[in-house]
A and B are shown apart, each in its own frame.
Chain A
Amino acid sequence: MTASRDVQRELEQFIYREAALLDGREFEAWLELFADDAIYWIPNWDANGDPNEDGVIVYEDRTGLRARVARLLHPLNPTQVPLPRTRHFITNVMPAGGDNGHVTVSSNQVVYVSQAGRQHQFAGACQHVLTAGQDGWLIRRKQVSLLANDAPLTQIPVL
């Protein structure tokens, strides 16, 4: 699918805005980008590993994401001391198809995280399935396929 310049720009802006909310630790606002039936998925072992066969690094429905956000903001979460700083770098944004008010967008991303004097980076391919909501796009499904999905990982931030 070749998107018009306006649609391409709109989708890019949406994905950049999502990343900015994460990097700004505005997790509750980030949660609002997700549709009620949303799935957020980081496969284990293979870029499209079967969640029930190969396990998952993350697989959350909206309730799970809500719990995750609540924990990120919990004052006694040991992993958030000192607060990690993240920065998302997103490239190669390509609308990959769509129908019935849905659009699929693929992109590449690198997320740098710095905490307690150490820096780690997580590179991967993203796929967003977006659905038209009342006030713009909503994320129905976000899949982040890490390059290093079969390697030992340190704690990953929200990608």
Chain B
Amino acid sequence: MALAAVSPYRELVQEDQVHRRLYTDPDIFEEEMRCIFGRTWVFVGHESEVANPGDFKTDHLAGQPIIMTRHTDGKVRLFYNACRHRGSTVCQLPYGNASHLSCIYHGWTYRTNGELSGVPLREGFGSDFDPADYGLIPLPRVESYRGFIFASLSRDGISLREHLGRAAHYLDVMIDRAPGQEIHARKPLKYEYDGNWKLQLENYSCNYHPSVLHLSALEVGVKMMAEKFGGSVFKLPTKKGEYPLIERSFGHGHGMANYMGTRGFLWRDAFDDPDYIAALGPRYGDRARDVAETDIHVMIYPNLLLHTRLNHYRVIKPVAVDHTIMNTYPCTMKGAPDLVNDTIVRYTSHHVSAGGEIQVDDLKAFACVQEGLRSEGLDWVLFKLHGDNEHVNDDGELESNGVSEIAQRGFYREWLRLMEA
């Protein structure tokens, strides 16, 4: 690139605007896979997806096939899903349970701890062939935070805990909303869109769009709620300051936004369930109801999005500069009443699925943005919106009130840091 002097990216990312090439340039996408998804801590799965010994799950990280297993020793491990002989994937199922994984091609067989346990015609590989040298290749670094498993494809770097920083608190918020302080990830809802992966990240932290993009869903939802429950149960905020929004940005690109929309889409709000609130009582006392009603979006850079009311997480999977897959995992809560857990699964589906009523609007917007950004006449994508009272709070987070683009600005500070590292 022409701007080789310091970093080709410095001129593309400014404090409150980024260049459209970040969304459209395939070379930048390849560099993101190397410098971001191929280096920093990336969320790869939840322990509950492989709850029992022998359970496995296959997935992709930075475009590379991976497999997560739970061995008979109870430990969760992550490997590249590639046979050491000729490179075939050793497992093609999305989920399953097995004592061994056998390559379909020539039958090389591995235990769920990665050890190579069987090689047909082994003597033909010579007397110095040692199967111990040919186990499945583990991902360079894997660490877990309370069941949330992250991997880094870089051998060196800061610890997961250091990377998460303040984001660990928000994982606690999500996990500890479960009376039993454990969550269980259900099967994913999957959608894809013709747009760059960063569009989903930006959208998830955006309180600016719902009352415009989702207007039809909100109007219909509010009407149906009123019909079912009588009266007006949810009113769209229309004036500045009418809803106490808080948005935050903190270390390593993570962010948080409390949310105004969710209740408008719920035709029954099961989180008011007295049994659920009572179950939270021993730990939270007077705060139990507030905890039950916590309604925040959390963005853990670069690929994990938490939703603490519909209680799910979403995983961003970049495929190409203009193509992204999203997997959403509803998370039921240990110790919560069935009604609450059923509501989590059902309303996450209603909200997020490809046949749902909310996320489909966003997918449309992503495709429109991606198309619009083909315009060479337009250089900059703006993140200039500020809320009120921007300040560093007692937890060291950059915080503002009201609708803002504070979290998005944080993403791009981290983007630049990683791309220049």
Contacts and interface: CB of A to CB of B under 8 A. Distances in A.
A54 interface: yes
A153 B189 CA distance: 9
Contact of A155 (B94, B190, B360): B360
Which range holds the interface residue count of chain A?
20 to 34
A75 to B, nearest CB: 8
Contacts of A92: none
A79 B361 contact: yes
Interface stretch (B338-346, B393-401, B406-414): B338-346
Contact of A58 (B267, B342, B355): B355
A152 interface: yes
B353 A52 contact: no
Contacts of B223: 67, 70
Interface in B138-196: 186-193
Nearest to A144: B355
Contacts of B363: 154-155
Which range holds the interface residue count of chain B?
35 or more
Contact of A55 (B219, B221, B353): B353
A5 B214 CA distance: 48
B189 A57 contact: yes
B216 interface: yes
Contact of B364 (A51, A67, A79, A151): A79
B279 to A, nearest CB: 19
A64 B190 CA distance: 22
A76 B219 CA distance: 10
Interface string A8-32: 0000000000000000000000000
B249 interface: no
By secondary structure, the A interface counts as: mixed
Nearest to A150: B94
Contact of A77 (B186, B216, B354, B355): B216
Contacts of A45: 187-188
B348 A55 contact: yes
A152 B216 CA distance: 25
A77 B341 CA distance: 30
A58 B346 CA distance: 9
Nearest to A74: B216
Nearest to B227: A63
B308 interface: no
Nearest to B214: A78
Given A42-B355, A74-B219, A78-B361, A63 B342 contact: no
Given A55-B353, A57-B355, A76 B220 contact: no
A44 interface: yes
Nearest to B213: A78
Nearest to B215: A76
A70 B190 CA distance: 25
Nearest to A75: B216
Interface centre among A51, A75, A155 (most CB of B within 10 A): A155
A56 B353 contact: yes
B270 interface: no
A58 B353 contact: yes
Contact of A57 (B216, B224, B267, B353): B353
Interface centre among A49, A54, A68 (most CB of B within 10 A): A54
Given A51-B346, A52-B345, A154-B363, A76 B354 contact: no
A152 B346 contact: no
B353 A152 contact: no
Given A55-B349, A56-B353, A154-B192, A71 B187 contact: no
Interface string A129-159: 0000000000000000000001111111000
Contacts of A76: 215-216
Q: Which 7 A-B pairs have the closest CB atoms?
A: A153-B354, A74-B216, A152-B192, A58-B355, A77-B216, A152-B190, A45-B187
Interface of B: 94, 186-193, 213, 215-217, 219-221, 223-224, 227-228, 267, 325-327, 330, 338, 341-342, 345-346, 348-350, 353-357, 360-361, 363-365
27 contacts: A44-B187, A49-B187, A52-B338, A52-B342, A53-B187, A54-B345, A55-B186, A55-B346, A55-B348, A57-B189, A57-B354, A58-B353, A58-B355, A71-B216, A74-B216, A76-B215, A77-B216, A78-B216, A78-B364, A79-B361, A152-B191, A152-B326, A153-B192, A154-B192, A155-B191, A155-B360, A155-B364
Given A59-B349, A74-B219, A155-B191, 6 more contacts: A57-B356, A67-B221, A76-B216, A154-B363, A155-B354, A155-B360
